[in-house]
Protein backbone atom coordinates (compact mmCIF):
# COMPACT_ATOMS: atom_id res chain seq x y z
CA UNK A 1 0.00 0.00 0.00
CA UNK A 2 1.58 3.25 -1.13
CA UNK A 3 0.75 6.54 0.61
CA UNK A 4 0.05 9.45 -1.73
CA UNK A 5 1.24 12.66 -0.10
CA UNK A 6 -0.20 16.08 -0.83
CA UNK A 7 2.19 18.91 0.02
CA UNK A 8 0.52 21.74 1.94
CA UNK A 9 1.44 25.36 2.48
CA UNK A 10 2.82 24.53 5.95
CA UNK A 11 5.20 21.61 6.46
CA UNK A 12 4.30 21.46 10.17
CA UNK A 13 0.92 19.96 9.22
CA UNK A 14 1.51 17.57 6.28
CA UNK A 15 -1.72 16.17 4.93
CA UNK A 16 -1.66 12.65 3.55
CA UNK A 17 -4.20 10.70 1.54
CA UNK A 18 -3.68 7.11 0.49
CA UNK A 19 -5.83 4.59 -1.35
CA UNK A 20 -5.77 0.84 -0.79
CA UNK A 21 -7.95 -2.25 -1.24
CA UNK A 22 -9.33 -4.62 1.36
CA UNK A 23 -10.94 -7.97 0.73
CA UNK A 24 -14.65 -8.23 1.46
CA UNK A 25 -16.20 -10.99 3.54
CA UNK A 26 -18.64 -12.15 0.92
CA UNK A 27 -19.01 -15.11 -1.39
CA UNK A 28 -17.27 -13.35 -4.28
CA UNK A 29 -14.22 -12.59 -2.13
CA UNK A 30 -13.81 -9.35 -4.12
CA UNK A 31 -12.20 -6.15 -2.85
CA UNK A 32 -13.30 -2.63 -1.88
CA UNK A 33 -11.30 0.57 -2.38
CA UNK A 34 -10.61 2.58 0.77
CA UNK A 35 -9.21 6.05 1.38
CA UNK A 36 -7.03 6.73 4.41
CA UNK A 37 -6.77 10.30 5.78
CA UNK A 38 -3.70 11.06 7.90
CA UNK A 39 -2.72 14.17 9.86
CA UNK A 40 0.07 14.28 12.49
CA UNK A 41 -1.11 14.03 16.09
CA UNK A 42 -4.50 12.80 14.91
CA UNK A 43 -5.64 9.16 14.52
CA UNK A 44 -6.06 8.20 10.84
CA UNK A 45 -9.54 7.74 9.46
CA UNK A 46 -10.76 5.58 6.60
CA UNK A 47 -13.46 5.98 3.99
CA UNK A 48 -14.92 3.16 1.92
CA UNK A 49 -15.03 4.48 -1.64
CA UNK A 50 -16.32 1.69 -3.88
CA UNK A 51 -16.67 -2.09 -3.92
CA UNK A 52 -16.49 -4.83 -6.52
CA UNK A 53 -12.77 -4.50 -7.40
CA UNK A 54 -10.71 -7.54 -8.36
CA UNK A 55 -7.24 -8.05 -6.98
CA UNK A 56 -5.69 -8.11 -10.47
CA UNK A 57 -7.22 -4.67 -11.22
CA UNK A 58 -5.25 -2.91 -8.48
CA UNK A 59 -1.61 -1.80 -8.55
CA UNK A 60 -0.38 -2.37 -4.98
CA UNK A 61 2.88 -0.50 -5.56
CA UNK A 62 1.20 2.68 -6.82
CA UNK A 63 -1.91 2.39 -4.68
CA UNK A 64 -4.03 3.04 -7.76
CA UNK A 65 -6.21 1.11 -10.20
CA UNK A 66 -4.41 -0.32 -13.20
CA UNK A 67 -5.08 1.62 -16.41
CA UNK A 68 -6.20 -1.47 -18.29
CA UNK A 69 -9.82 -0.52 -19.09
CA UNK A 70 -12.09 2.53 -19.42
CA UNK A 71 -13.80 1.58 -16.16
CA UNK A 72 -10.53 1.59 -14.24
CA UNK A 73 -9.39 4.85 -15.84
CA UNK A 74 -12.65 6.49 -14.75
CA UNK A 75 -12.17 5.07 -11.24
CA UNK A 76 -8.68 6.57 -11.14
CA UNK A 77 -10.05 10.00 -12.09
CA UNK A 78 -12.76 9.65 -9.46
CA UNK A 79 -10.14 8.96 -6.78
CA UNK A 80 -8.25 12.08 -7.90
CA UNK A 81 -11.41 14.16 -7.42
CA UNK A 82 -11.87 12.74 -3.90
CA UNK A 83 -8.26 13.56 -3.06
CA UNK A 84 -8.72 17.13 -4.31
CA UNK A 85 -11.95 17.56 -2.34
CA UNK A 86 -10.33 16.29 0.88
CA UNK A 87 -7.44 18.68 0.37
CA UNK A 88 -9.89 21.55 -0.17
CA UNK A 89 -11.65 20.66 3.11
CA UNK A 90 -8.27 20.51 4.87
CA UNK A 91 -7.31 23.99 3.67
CA UNK A 92 -10.73 25.39 4.50
CA UNK A 93 -10.48 24.14 8.10
CA UNK A 94 -6.92 25.47 8.38
CA UNK A 95 -7.79 28.93 7.07
CA UNK A 96 -10.89 29.20 9.26
CA UNK A 97 -9.00 27.92 12.32
CA UNK A 98 -11.35 25.01 12.81
CA UNK A 99 -10.62 21.71 14.56
CA UNK A 100 -7.95 20.13 12.38
CA UNK A 101 -8.27 16.35 12.64
CA UNK A 102 -8.71 13.37 10.36
CA UNK A 103 -12.12 12.75 11.94
CA UNK A 104 -13.30 16.29 11.26
CA UNK A 105 -12.14 16.15 7.63
CA UNK A 106 -13.94 12.84 7.14
CA UNK A 107 -17.17 14.12 8.72
CA UNK A 108 -17.08 17.29 6.63
CA UNK A 109 -16.62 15.25 3.45
CA UNK A 110 -19.57 13.03 4.40
CA UNK A 111 -21.70 16.04 5.31
CA UNK A 112 -22.03 15.07 8.94
CA UNK A 113 -22.55 17.92 11.36
CA UNK A 114 -23.54 20.25 8.50
CA UNK A 115 -27.09 21.51 8.43
CA UNK A 116 -29.12 19.84 5.71
CA UNK A 117 -30.68 22.94 4.14
CA UNK A 118 -33.85 23.01 2.11
CA UNK A 119 -34.68 25.56 -0.57
CA UNK A 120 -37.18 27.48 1.56
CA UNK A 121 -34.89 27.25 4.59
CA UNK A 122 -32.06 28.76 2.57
CA UNK A 123 -34.26 31.63 1.34
CA UNK A 124 -35.37 32.38 4.90
CA UNK A 125 -31.76 32.47 6.11
CA UNK A 126 -30.69 34.63 3.17
CA UNK A 127 -33.51 37.12 3.82
CA UNK A 128 -32.48 37.26 7.47
CA UNK A 129 -28.91 37.97 6.38
CA UNK A 130 -30.02 40.70 3.94
CA UNK A 131 -32.21 42.51 6.48
CA UNK A 132 -29.34 44.80 7.46
CA UNK A 133 -27.96 45.13 3.93
CA UNK A 134 -30.99 45.90 1.75
CA UNK A 135 -33.76 48.47 1.77
CA UNK A 136 -37.28 47.41 2.78
CA UNK A 137 -38.47 47.52 -0.83
CA UNK A 138 -35.73 45.12 -1.91
CA UNK A 139 -36.53 42.75 0.96
CA UNK A 140 -40.17 42.85 -0.10
CA UNK A 141 -39.09 41.65 -3.55
CA UNK A 142 -37.19 38.75 -1.96
CA UNK A 143 -40.41 37.90 -0.11
CA UNK A 144 -42.24 37.75 -3.45
CA UNK A 145 -39.54 35.42 -4.81
CA UNK A 146 -40.02 33.18 -1.78
CA UNK A 147 -43.78 33.10 -2.37
CA UNK A 148 -43.25 31.86 -5.94
CA UNK A 149 -40.72 29.21 -4.84
CA UNK A 150 -43.00 28.03 -2.03
CA UNK A 151 -45.99 27.70 -4.38
CA UNK A 152 -43.86 25.84 -6.92
CA UNK A 153 -42.46 23.43 -4.31
CA UNK A 154 -45.95 22.66 -3.00
CA UNK A 155 -46.99 21.77 -6.53
CA UNK A 156 -43.87 19.71 -7.35
CA UNK A 157 -42.96 17.95 -4.09
CA UNK A 158 -45.08 16.05 -1.58
CA UNK A 159 -43.12 17.59 1.30
CA UNK A 160 -43.66 21.10 -0.08
CA UNK A 161 -39.90 21.72 -0.13
CA UNK A 162 -36.68 20.26 -1.58
CA UNK A 163 -33.30 19.55 0.00
CA UNK A 164 -30.48 21.55 -1.58
CA UNK A 165 -28.43 18.36 -2.00
CA UNK A 166 -31.13 17.01 -4.30
CA UNK A 167 -31.41 20.20 -6.32
CA UNK A 168 -30.91 19.92 -10.08
CA UNK A 169 -30.71 22.41 -12.96
CA UNK A 170 -34.22 21.44 -14.03
CA UNK A 171 -35.58 23.09 -10.86
CA UNK A 172 -34.83 26.63 -12.01
CA UNK A 173 -35.90 25.89 -15.59
CA UNK A 174 -39.27 24.50 -14.43
CA UNK A 175 -39.63 27.34 -11.91
CA UNK A 176 -39.28 29.85 -14.75
CA UNK A 177 -42.22 28.25 -16.59
CA UNK A 178 -44.26 28.13 -13.38
CA UNK A 179 -43.73 31.83 -12.58
CA UNK A 180 -44.74 32.89 -16.09
CA UNK A 181 -47.94 30.81 -15.97
CA UNK A 182 -49.05 31.06 -12.33
CA UNK A 183 -49.22 34.69 -11.12
CA UNK A 184 -49.36 35.27 -7.37
CA UNK A 185 -51.82 38.07 -7.88
CA UNK A 186 -54.89 37.14 -9.98
CA UNK A 187 -54.98 38.77 -13.43
CA UNK A 188 -51.47 40.17 -12.91
CA UNK A 189 -49.09 37.79 -14.74
CA UNK A 190 -45.35 38.16 -14.25
CA UNK A 191 -43.52 39.50 -17.30
CA UNK A 192 -40.36 37.89 -18.64
CA UNK A 193 -38.18 40.59 -17.05
CA UNK A 194 -40.04 40.27 -13.75
CA UNK A 195 -39.54 36.50 -13.87
CA UNK A 196 -35.83 36.97 -14.57
CA UNK A 197 -35.52 39.20 -11.48
CA UNK A 198 -36.94 36.38 -9.32
CA UNK A 199 -34.53 33.86 -10.84
CA UNK A 200 -31.65 36.33 -10.48
CA UNK A 201 -32.33 36.51 -6.74
CA UNK A 202 -32.53 32.73 -6.54
CA UNK A 203 -29.20 32.36 -8.35
CA UNK A 204 -27.62 34.80 -5.93
CA UNK A 205 -28.84 32.84 -2.92
CA UNK A 206 -27.67 29.50 -4.31
CA UNK A 207 -24.26 31.02 -5.10
CA UNK A 208 -24.08 32.29 -1.50
CA UNK A 209 -25.02 28.80 -0.21
CA UNK A 210 -22.16 27.33 -2.27
CA UNK A 211 -19.67 29.86 -0.90
CA UNK A 212 -20.84 29.04 2.64
CA UNK A 213 -20.38 25.29 1.90
CA UNK A 214 -24.07 24.55 2.51
CA UNK A 215 -23.90 22.70 -0.82
CA UNK A 216 -20.98 21.23 -2.75
CA UNK A 217 -21.85 22.79 -6.13
CA UNK A 218 -23.48 25.89 -7.57
CA UNK A 219 -26.42 24.18 -9.26
CA UNK A 220 -27.65 27.22 -11.20
CA UNK A 221 -24.30 28.72 -12.25
CA UNK A 222 -24.89 27.91 -15.93
CA UNK A 223 -28.42 29.34 -16.05
CA UNK A 224 -28.48 32.51 -18.16
CA UNK A 225 -30.61 35.50 -17.13
CA UNK A 226 -32.18 36.77 -20.34
CA UNK A 227 -34.11 40.05 -20.04
CA UNK A 228 -35.99 41.67 -22.88
CA UNK A 229 -34.86 45.20 -23.87
CA UNK A 230 -36.96 47.75 -22.00
CA UNK A 231 -37.56 51.30 -23.19
CA UNK A 232 -38.33 53.39 -20.13
CA UNK A 233 -41.19 55.91 -20.24
CA UNK A 234 -40.76 59.58 -19.38
CA UNK A 235 -42.75 62.79 -19.60
CA UNK A 236 -41.94 65.34 -22.29
CA UNK A 237 -41.80 69.06 -21.48
CA UNK A 238 -45.34 69.72 -22.64
CA UNK A 239 -46.67 66.85 -20.50
CA UNK A 240 -44.68 67.95 -17.47
CA UNK A 241 -45.93 71.53 -17.77
CA UNK A 242 -49.51 70.34 -18.23
CA UNK A 243 -49.21 68.26 -15.07
CA UNK A 244 -47.72 71.16 -13.09
CA UNK A 245 -50.65 73.45 -13.98
CA UNK A 246 -53.35 70.83 -13.30
CA UNK A 247 -55.52 71.52 -10.24
CA UNK A 248 -57.69 68.77 -8.75
CA UNK A 249 -60.64 69.05 -6.39
CA UNK A 250 -59.36 66.34 -4.09
CA UNK A 251 -56.47 67.49 -1.83
CA UNK A 252 -54.79 64.08 -1.95
CA UNK A 253 -54.59 64.19 -5.76
CA UNK A 254 -52.95 67.63 -5.60
CA UNK A 255 -50.46 66.42 -2.98
CA UNK A 256 -49.49 63.32 -4.96
CA UNK A 257 -49.18 65.42 -8.13
CA UNK A 258 -46.86 67.85 -6.35
CA UNK A 259 -44.72 65.02 -4.97
CA UNK A 260 -44.41 63.50 -8.44
CA UNK A 261 -43.48 66.86 -10.00
CA UNK A 262 -40.90 67.43 -7.23
CA UNK A 263 -39.26 64.10 -8.14
CA UNK A 264 -39.30 65.11 -11.82
CA UNK A 265 -37.16 68.15 -10.95
CA UNK A 266 -34.84 66.42 -8.46
CA UNK A 267 -34.58 62.81 -9.66
CA UNK A 268 -35.45 61.47 -6.21
CA UNK A 269 -36.95 58.02 -5.76
CA UNK A 270 -40.25 57.97 -3.83
CA UNK A 271 -38.68 56.28 -0.78
CA UNK A 272 -36.04 59.03 -0.52
CA UNK A 273 -38.51 61.84 -1.17
CA UNK A 274 -40.85 60.57 1.56
CA UNK A 275 -38.06 60.74 4.17
CA UNK A 276 -36.52 64.04 3.07
CA UNK A 277 -35.90 66.28 6.10
CA UNK A 278 -35.38 70.07 6.28
CA UNK A 279 -31.73 69.84 7.38
CA UNK A 280 -30.92 68.07 4.09
CA UNK A 281 -31.66 71.30 2.21
CA UNK A 282 -29.08 74.06 2.59
CA UNK A 283 -27.67 77.16 0.90
CA UNK A 284 -24.28 76.57 -0.69
CA UNK A 285 -21.40 79.01 -0.95
CA UNK A 286 -21.98 79.04 -4.72
CA UNK A 287 -25.31 80.81 -4.26
CA UNK A 288 -27.34 77.67 -5.06
CA UNK A 289 -29.77 75.84 -2.80
CA UNK A 290 -28.65 72.22 -2.48
CA UNK A 291 -30.46 69.03 -1.61
CA UNK A 292 -28.31 66.17 -0.24
CA UNK A 293 -29.30 62.69 0.88
CA UNK A 294 -28.16 59.06 1.05
CA UNK A 295 -30.17 56.81 -1.25
CA UNK A 296 -32.16 54.20 0.67
CA UNK A 297 -31.65 51.57 -2.02
CA UNK A 298 -27.90 51.75 -2.62
CA UNK A 299 -26.57 53.85 0.30
CA UNK A 300 -24.88 56.12 -2.27
CA UNK A 301 -24.93 59.90 -1.61
CA UNK A 302 -26.74 62.21 -4.05
CA UNK A 303 -26.34 65.98 -4.33
CA UNK A 304 -28.85 68.02 -6.33
CA UNK A 305 -28.96 71.80 -6.89
CA UNK A 306 -32.64 72.75 -6.56
CA UNK A 307 -34.38 74.08 -9.65
CA UNK A 308 -37.00 76.80 -9.07
CA UNK A 309 -40.09 74.51 -9.50
CA UNK A 310 -38.70 72.12 -6.83
CA UNK A 311 -37.81 74.99 -4.50
CA UNK A 312 -41.33 76.43 -4.91
CA UNK A 313 -42.88 73.10 -3.85
CA UNK A 314 -40.70 72.95 -0.74
CA UNK A 315 -41.86 76.44 0.21
CA UNK A 316 -45.48 75.47 -0.51
CA UNK A 317 -45.35 72.67 2.05
CA UNK A 318 -43.41 74.52 4.74
CA UNK A 319 -44.87 73.83 8.16
CA UNK A 320 -46.98 76.64 9.53
CA UNK A 321 -48.14 77.43 13.01
CA UNK A 322 -51.08 75.38 14.12
CA UNK A 323 -50.30 72.53 11.75
CA UNK A 324 -49.44 69.05 12.96
CA UNK A 325 -45.70 68.84 13.56
CA UNK A 326 -43.77 66.54 11.22
CA UNK A 327 -40.07 65.81 10.76
CA UNK A 328 -40.16 65.53 6.97
CA UNK A 329 -40.32 68.20 4.25
CA UNK A 330 -43.53 66.77 2.76
CA UNK A 331 -46.56 65.13 4.38
CA UNK A 332 -46.18 61.35 4.42
CA UNK A 333 -48.21 59.32 1.92
CA UNK A 334 -48.18 55.53 1.80
CA UNK A 335 -46.90 53.80 -1.33
CA UNK A 336 -50.37 52.44 -2.00
CA UNK A 337 -51.91 55.91 -1.89
CA UNK A 338 -49.12 57.28 -4.09
CA UNK A 339 -49.66 54.62 -6.75
CA UNK A 340 -53.47 54.63 -6.59
CA UNK A 341 -53.74 58.42 -6.90
CA UNK A 342 -51.11 58.55 -9.61
CA UNK A 343 -53.25 56.19 -11.70
CA UNK A 344 -56.19 58.58 -11.34
CA UNK A 345 -53.98 61.55 -12.32
CA UNK A 346 -52.76 59.63 -15.36
CA UNK A 347 -56.33 58.98 -16.54
CA UNK A 348 -57.44 62.57 -15.99
CA UNK A 349 -54.45 64.06 -17.83
CA UNK A 350 -54.83 61.59 -20.73
CA UNK A 351 -51.12 61.31 -21.46
CA UNK A 352 -51.62 57.93 -23.09
CA UNK A 353 -49.12 56.25 -20.74
CA UNK A 354 -49.64 55.01 -17.17
CA UNK A 355 -47.74 57.07 -14.62
CA UNK A 356 -45.55 55.55 -11.92
CA UNK A 357 -43.17 57.29 -9.55
CA UNK A 358 -40.02 55.93 -11.13
CA UNK A 359 -40.98 57.74 -14.33
CA UNK A 360 -40.05 60.88 -12.43
CA UNK A 361 -36.40 59.77 -12.27
CA UNK A 362 -36.39 59.04 -16.00
CA UNK A 363 -38.02 62.43 -16.68
CA UNK A 364 -35.39 64.22 -14.60
CA UNK A 365 -32.50 62.32 -16.21
CA UNK A 366 -33.60 62.84 -19.81
CA UNK A 367 -36.21 65.61 -20.26
CA UNK A 368 -35.07 68.01 -17.53
CA UNK A 369 -31.28 67.56 -17.63
CA UNK A 370 -29.75 65.61 -20.55
CA UNK A 371 -31.87 67.25 -23.28
CA UNK A 372 -30.95 70.64 -21.86
CA UNK A 373 -27.22 70.05 -22.13
CA UNK A 374 -26.37 68.82 -18.62
CA UNK A 375 -23.37 66.41 -18.86
CA UNK A 376 -24.15 62.81 -18.01
CA UNK A 377 -21.39 62.81 -15.38
CA UNK A 378 -23.28 65.52 -13.46
CA UNK A 379 -26.55 63.59 -13.88
CA UNK A 380 -24.81 60.53 -12.39
CA UNK A 381 -23.96 62.46 -9.22
CA UNK A 382 -27.45 63.91 -8.89
CA UNK A 383 -29.11 60.51 -9.31
CA UNK A 384 -26.76 58.91 -6.78
CA UNK A 385 -25.32 56.21 -9.05
CA UNK A 386 -22.09 54.32 -8.49
CA UNK A 387 -21.58 53.52 -12.17
CA UNK A 388 -22.16 55.62 -15.28
CA UNK A 389 -23.85 52.59 -16.90
CA UNK A 390 -26.76 52.95 -14.46
CA UNK A 391 -27.15 56.61 -15.43
CA UNK A 392 -27.17 55.75 -19.14
CA UNK A 393 -30.16 53.49 -18.44
CA UNK A 394 -32.08 56.52 -17.12
CA UNK A 395 -30.77 59.24 -19.41
CA UNK A 396 -31.68 58.28 -22.97
CA UNK A 397 -30.79 60.21 -26.10
CA UNK A 398 -33.87 60.70 -28.30
CA UNK A 399 -34.42 61.93 -31.88
CA UNK A 400 -34.82 65.55 -30.85
CA UNK A 401 -31.37 65.58 -29.28
CA UNK A 402 -29.80 63.80 -32.25
CA UNK A 403 -31.50 66.25 -34.63
CA UNK A 404 -30.30 69.24 -32.60
CA UNK A 405 -26.72 67.96 -32.58
CA UNK A 406 -26.77 67.32 -36.33
CA UNK A 407 -28.15 70.82 -37.01
CA UNK A 408 -25.29 72.30 -34.99
CA UNK A 409 -22.87 70.14 -36.98
CA UNK A 410 -24.50 71.29 -40.24
CA UNK A 411 -23.95 74.94 -39.30
CA UNK A 412 -20.27 74.26 -38.63
CA UNK A 413 -19.89 72.46 -41.96
CA UNK A 414 -21.45 75.41 -43.82
CA UNK A 415 -18.80 77.74 -42.42
CA UNK A 416 -16.14 75.73 -44.30
CA UNK A 417 -17.59 76.72 -47.69
- Polymer length of the chain: 417
41: helix, coil or strand? coil
**Distance of alpha carbon 270 from alpha carbon 400, whole angstroms:** 29
**Distance of alpha carbon 200 from alpha carbon 144, whole angstroms:** 13
**Distance of alpha carbon 191 from alpha carbon 144, whole angstroms:** 14
Among 88, 89, 94, CA closest to 112: 89
**Distance of alpha carbon 369 from alpha carbon 361, whole angstroms:** 11
**Which pTM does this prediction carry?**
0.60
User: C-alpha angle 283/285/286, rounded to 5°?
Assistant: 100
Q: Note the pLDDT of residue 178.
A: 94
pLDDT by residue for the chain (417 residues), tens only, comes to 333 333 333 445 578 999 999 998 888 888 999 999 998 888 999 999 988 889 999 999 999 999 989 999 999 999 999 999 899 888 877 776 566 888 888 887 886 655 667 899 999 988 988 887 887 778 889 999 999 999 999 999 888 998 887 888 999 999 999 999 998 887 788 899 999 999 999 999 999 888 887 887 888 989 999 988 766 788 989 999 999 999 999 999 999 999 999 999 999 999 899 999 999 999 988 889 999 999 988 889 999 999 999 999 999 998 876 667 788 999 999 888 998 999 999 888 888 888 888 899 999 999 999 988 899 999 999 999 999 888 888 777 766 777 777 887 788 888 876
**Distance of alpha carbon 262 from alpha carbon 268, whole angstroms:** 8
In degrees and rounded to multiples of 5, residue 220 shows phi and psi of -105, 15
Q: Note the pLDDT of residue 107.
A: 81
Contact 391, 366 (CB under 8 A): no
Amino acid sequence: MLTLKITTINSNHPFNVSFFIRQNRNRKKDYSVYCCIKIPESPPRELCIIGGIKRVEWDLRKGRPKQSSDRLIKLSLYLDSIKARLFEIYLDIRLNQGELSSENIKNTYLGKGIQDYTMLGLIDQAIQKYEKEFAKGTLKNYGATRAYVEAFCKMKYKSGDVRLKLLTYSFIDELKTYILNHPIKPNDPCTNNGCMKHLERLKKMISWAYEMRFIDRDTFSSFKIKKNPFESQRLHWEQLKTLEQKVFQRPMLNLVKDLFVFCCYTGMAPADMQHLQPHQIYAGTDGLTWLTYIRAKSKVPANVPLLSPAAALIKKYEQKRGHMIRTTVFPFVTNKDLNDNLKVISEVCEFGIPLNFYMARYTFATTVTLLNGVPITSIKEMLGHRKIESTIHYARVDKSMIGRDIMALQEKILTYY
